Structure 1
Amino acid sequence: MKDVIALVTGASRGVGRGIALSLLAEAATVHVTGRTRSEAEASLGSKRAGSLEGLALEAAALPGRLVVHHCDHSNDAETERVAEEIRAANRLDILVNNAWPGYENMIEDGDFTWPRPFWEQPVWRWDAMIGTALRAAFMMSRAVAPTMISTQRGLIVNISFWAAQFYDGNAIYGMAKAAADKMAADFAHELRPHKVAAVALYPGLVRTEAVMQNAEYFDLSNSESPRFIGHVIAGLWRDPALMSKSGRVLVAAELGREYDIADVDGYRPVPLSAADFVKS
């Protein structure tokens, strides 16, 4: 993918970082956004491990080219600044909307607030998931779509999850993911005449830094590395039938089987289905 240019939002850590590293491993030029500049900054306050500085160090050994943009997507002006830098190059092939501050401050005053009913949810969580994450996906897509249209090829990926379809412990989370799916579907409808695809993509349980810090609470037997979904996105980009998948909700593990992609450890994740969530 040495001629491919991608943008991954929210790549300081977690899924976004893994996607960026996978695309770099496949020799793409990868622009990334993130709020956390350094590991020292990551250690302050409630921030979790992972930074743009750490990503750059890890990327140095990979064949692709990394371009780092410090960006807080809660500020539309910063999102637009990154988009303008992308537009200046007159080319963008892949946009991955991954920025997600919705898992921050899970414990407030000693109380784990995630599973509270919607009438007891802190309003900041709505602002983080809807006002920042969902808005950032729309604003960045809106800003770069004309560049993709001009080249008559492109792929917009909204990172989503099964909470869009079934209750998964938090009402705001479900609303945000359902909106991400609908956004991808409607983008796809309007972009189809321009040969630009848009999809919602579901990972499985990903071994992010936060998950591994709490590994005793998870069944990791069918989990995915953060890099797996990035290689799946590369496979999706190379798929000659990409436009036939546009507008759909796709499961990373199912695409992994279709494209014969194994995880970095050789494991081939088993796709989850709606039935897995209905049973739970």
Structure 2
Amino acid sequence: MTTPTTTPPRTAIVTGAARGIGASIARRLAADGHAVAVLDLDHGSCTEVVSQIEADGGRAISVAADVSDEAAVRQAVDRTVAELGTPTILINNAGIIRDNLLFKMAADEWDAVMNVHLRGAFLMTRAVQSYMIQTRWGRIVNLSSTSALGNRGQVNYSAAKAGVQGFTKTLALELGKFGVTANAVAPGFIETEMTAATAERLGMTFEDFKAAVAKDVPVGRIGSPADIARAVAFFVDEDAGFVSGQVLYVAGGPAS
């Protein structure tokens, strides 16, 4: 059972919410009383998360959109407004990986990652910020990563996640006077389909990969999507209104 939020019920949009970290965040925000637009590439992939939220008594809709497509983003936000109300919580979680060493990386592998992580966060935030400004209350949480500090084979992903941090800090400077906060959560190793794909790229079973990673985590375990959802819930809470422009590493120990 979650601790009741002090934030009145609001409308949230969570991108990349069909699975993994995004799905966990969507369920947590719904459990805290918010209506949630579960956004991903297609409606079908979001159905299970929406059904879980509704089964628990929450409100949610499935929204299909490519976050790198400007028209699709606008339509997604318009639909959220029409069906759930004014969105004043935005979680920019959508992400992909196209891992490769620099000398092997194709330009389209670079562009694909930049388009989803950075262009997507920009387009979603630009589309939603006007509602937050009108309401004079808003919470933006962007998902970064410990890979922002550098990670072999992820020059595109690392650059994108470092960019998310600069994006977040600038949003905090520009939107703070309107009652809008912007923060980032930077997960360490979290058990998701994305990290399973990394194990495959390295030629390891996922179980062996997780065990190897856990040895270097000070708390002695890898993270779960719920760990990240809890951090997001803190930034979204009414009581976090004096916390903005911050990057919280949720990695089981100091990020380095």
TM-score of the superposed pair, with normalisation by structure 2: 0.82
Structure 2 stretches lacking a partner, 5+ long: 197-204, 215-219
- Per the alignment, residue 93 of structure 1 pairs with 88
| 2:233 aligned partner, one-letter code | A
Q: Is the aligned partner of 1:215 residue 2:207?
A: yes
Cα offsets for 1:26-66 (capped at 9, x unmatched): 2221111111443xxxxxxxxxxxx2122223323223211
| C-alpha distance 167-211 of structure 1, shift in aligned 2 (>3 A) | closer
8 Å CA contact 1:72–1:78 kept in 2: the answer is yes
Contact kept? 1:27, 1:62, Cα under 8 Å:
no
Partner of residue 138, structure 2: 154
Question: How many angstroms does 1:6 deviate by?
Answer: 0.9
Contact 2:43–2:62 under 8 Å retained in 1: no
Deviation at 1:242, TM superposition (A): 2.9
The letter of the residue matching 2:36 is V
Q: Indicate the residue corresponding to 2:237 in structure 1.
A: 238
Report the alpha carbon displacement of residue 215 of structure 1 after superposing the two structures with TM: 2.6
Aligned pairs for 1:51-200 (under 5 A) are: 51-88=45-82, 91-103=86-98, 114-116=99-101, 118-200=102-184
Give RMSD over aligned pairs. Answer: 2.2
- Determine if contact 2:67/2:123 at 8 Å carries over to the other structure: no
Gap runs ≥5 in structure 1: 39-50, 104-113, 254-269
In structure 1, the partner of 2:224 is 225
Return the letter of the residue paired with 1:60: E
In 2, Cα distance between the equivalents of 1:132 and 1:210? 14
Aligned equivalents of 2:43, 2:238: Cα separation in 1: 35
**Mapped contact 1:79–1:139 kept (Cα < 8 A):** yes
Assess if the C-alpha contact under 8 Å between 1:90 and 1:147 holds in 2.
no
Structure 1 residues 59 and 241: alpha-carbon distance in aligned structure 2, compared to 1, 3 A threshold: closer
Residue 86 of structure 1: how far off its partner (Å): 3.4
In structure 2, how many angstroms separate the alpha carbons of the residues matched to 1:18 and 1:179? 24
Tell me how far apart the structure 2 counterparts of residues 229 and 199 of structure 1 sit (CA, whole Å).
13
Identity within the alignment, %: 31
Q: 1:119, CA displacement in angstroms?
A: 3.1
Deviation of the 1:135 alpha carbon = 0.5
